[in-house]
Amino acid sequence: MSTTSHQIAIELADRRYDILIGGGLLGSTASFDAVPRSRTALIVSNTTVAPLYAQQLATTLGKIHGEVLQLVLPDGEAHKNWETLNLIFDRLLAQACDRKTVLYALGGGVIGDMTGFAAACYMRGVPYVQVPTTLLAQVDSSVGGKTAINHPAGKNMIGAFYQPRLVVADLDTLASLPERELAAGLAEVIKYGPIADDAFLDWIEEHLDALLRRDRPALAHAVRRSCEIKAWVVGQDERESGLRAILNFGHTFGHAIEAALGYGQWLHGEAVGCGMVMAADLSHRLGMIDRAYMERIANLVERAGLPTKAPALGASTYIELMRVDKKADAGKLQFVLIEAPGRAGVHGADERLLADVIDAHCA
């Protein structure tokens, strides 16, 4: 039986769509009422998630589409590239899929980002639905229409803004998530407190143990509040001309860690968690937040089981890698910093100060 406990609307200038959050959603055709009916649908998943959930989803979708195809991609951030993306196009073309074909991204952020990008490109755009199965994807990557693949020189550098028709976040899927992946998702949950909602930070501090135990009401609230904040931000700035950048708190440092070590060594959420500790320190050194607030962020990251020490690559390596960041302006580094509890903005930083922060946080 399905229980949609929450429905959140993403309101954009020229369209809207819903995020459904609840249990039993994959098994219910009602979850997919908003999807255009089509002759063909393609479920894109990976070797880990497909054996767990693809059949259940295919059975449900079989009742609303003529034919439901499945494509199982290799698993992992290291496969978020042109070669894997092309496998989606190969399959769509091999099956003569038309422009009404609906793609379903069943998996975490890697599958979601790649499937969304494929949907943006195939025949110049086909509809797609996000069916996120990691905490990270349910609270962040499935919402807001950022799609991409990685380039060896930079994370998510090739992509498009392309919104899904619907997001179906079935909380039941979180039961099979490995602990390390749950922690990685918590990094993106923690992020929303300092950037947008100080009361949510209090709530996370109180409920972190419950979240780590996968307490259902706690997970439901975390996913709901995270999606509400993300919907509020994306609704005001779909294409990141300003406000949306705050969602990248910790990401400038984090993306540098991911790129330096090779994609997949550190999980994205782990890199973001450590990056938030570094960005909070930079905010503190610039006089924006006091030491106690900086430490609250660092303590939460640590309590979530995420790394708080970055790999010792040397400050100059980090600084060079960070120049490739999408926020960099004519080579000048920019960071999302906490201006006050619950409020963030984009700021430049002196490279000497930056080197001090990096040195202070390297293992």
| From ligand NAD, ligand GLY, none, interface partner of 248 (C-beta below 5 to 8 A by class) | ligand GLY
Active site residue 248: yes
172 binds ligand NAD (CB under 6 A): no
Q: Exactly one of 18, 75, 77, 140 binds ligand GLY (CB under 6 A); which one?
A: 140
163 binds ligand NAD (CB under 6 A): no
Q: Exactly one of 107, 108, 132, 144 binds ligand GLY (CB under 6 A); which one?
A: 144
Binding to ligand GLY by CB under 6 A, coded x per residue (else -) over 98-137, reads ----------------------------------------
Q: Exactly one of 170, 181, 240, 270 binds ligand NAD (CB under 6 A); which one?
A: 181
- Window 222-261: residues binding ligand NAD (CB under 6 A): none
Q: Exactly one of 247, 294, 301, 344 binds ligand GLY (CB under 6 A); which one?
A: 247
Of 181, 240, 258, 270, the catalytic one is 240
CB under 8 Å to 363, separation ≥6 — which residues?
A: 309, 310, 311, 312
Q: Exactly one of 109, 164, 250, 273 binds ligand NAD (CB under 6 A); which one?
A: 109
Binding to ligand NAD by CB under 6 A, coded x per residue (else -) over 111-150, reads x-x-------------------xx-xx--xx--x-x----
Of 224, 248, 258, 285, the catalytic one is 248
Active site residue 188: yes
CB under 8 Å to 227, separation ≥6 — which residues?
A: 6, 8, 19, 21, 138, 139, 143, 169
46 binds ligand NAD (CB under 6 A): yes
Q: Which residues are catalytic?
A: 124, 146, 188, 230, 240, 244, 248, 251, 255, 268
